A and B are shown apart, each in its own frame.
Chain A
Amino acid sequence: MASVKTYVRPMQGWWRRNPYFVRYMIREGSSVFLAIYAVILLVGLFRLTQGEAAWEAWRAALTNPISLIFHWLALATVGYHAYTWWKVAPKTAPDLRLGGKPLPEMVITGGGFLATLGASALIYVIVRWM
Chain B
Amino acid sequence: MAEKRTIEIEVLRYNPEKDAAPHFQTFKVPFSDDASVLQGLLYIKDHLDGSLTFRWSCRMAICGSCGKMVNGKPELSCHTFLRDYYPGPVRIEPLNHFPVVRDLVIDQSDFLKKLESVKPYIIPREEKDVKDGEHLQTPGQLHKYYQYSQCINCLLCYAACPQYGLKPGFTGPAALALLHRYNADSRDKGWDERAEVLNAEEGVWGCTLVGYCSEVCPKHVDPAHAINQNKVNSTMDYFGVLKLLMPKGGA
Q: Which residues of A contact B (CB under 8 A)?
A: 1-2, 4-9, 11, 14-15, 17-18, 20-21, 24, 28, 88, 90-95, 97, 100, 102
- Encode B88-117 as 1/0 by CB contact (under 8 A) with A: 000000001101110000010100000000
Contact: B101 with A1, CB < 8 Å? yes
A1 touches B109 (CB 8 A): yes
Q: Which of A9, A17, A90, A92 is packed against the most chain B CB atoms within 10 Å?
A: A9
Chain B residues near A8 (CB-CB < 8 A):
99-100
A2 pairs with B215, CB closer than 8 A: no
Number of interface residues of B (CB under 8 A): 36
Instruction: Give the A-B contact count at a CB cut-off of 8 A.
Output: 74
Cross-chain contact A21 with B212 (CB below 8 angstroms): yes
Told that A4-B16, A7-B14, A28-B208 touch, could you supply 17 new A-B pairs with CB distance under 8 A? Answer: A1-B109, A4-B107, A6-B99, A7-B22, A7-B100, A8-B100, A11-B97, A11-B165, A11-B166, A14-B166, A21-B162, A24-B210, A90-B225, A92-B209, A92-B229, A94-B229, A95-B144
**CB pair B99 A91 closer than 8 Å:** no
CA distance A2 to B107 in the complex (A): 9
A and B contact pairs by CB, cutoff 8 A, 15 listed = A6-B16, A6-B101, A7-B19, A11-B166, A17-B72, A18-B72, A18-B73, A18-B212, A91-B214, A91-B225, A92-B229, A93-B229, A94-B229, A95-B184, A95-B229
